[in-house]
Structure 1
Amino acid sequence: MTDTLDIKTAYPNRYYASYDTTATQPTTVTGWYDVWDMSDTSNVPAVSDMIPVTAEQWNDVSFHIGYGKGVKDGQIIDYVPPVPLTVQASYALDAARTFVQNDFILLGETPSQEWIDYQKALIAVVNGTSTTLPTAPQA
Structure 2
Amino acid sequence: MTDKPSVLFVCVHNAGRSQMAAGWLRHLAGDAVEVRSAGSAPAETINPAAVEAMREAGIDITGQTPKLLDYETAQDSDVIITMGCGDACPIFPGKRYEDWKLDDPAGQGVDAVRPIRDEIRTRIEALLADLLPAGKSSTQV
Instruction: Establish whether TM, by shorter chain, passes 0.5.
Output: no
TM-score bin (small chain): under 0.3
Greater relative contact order: 1 or 2 (C-alpha under 8 angstroms, separation 6 or more)?
2
Q: TM-score, normalised by structure 1?
A: 0.20
Q: TM-score, normalised by structure 2?
A: 0.20
- Larger gyration radius, structure 1 or structure 2: 1
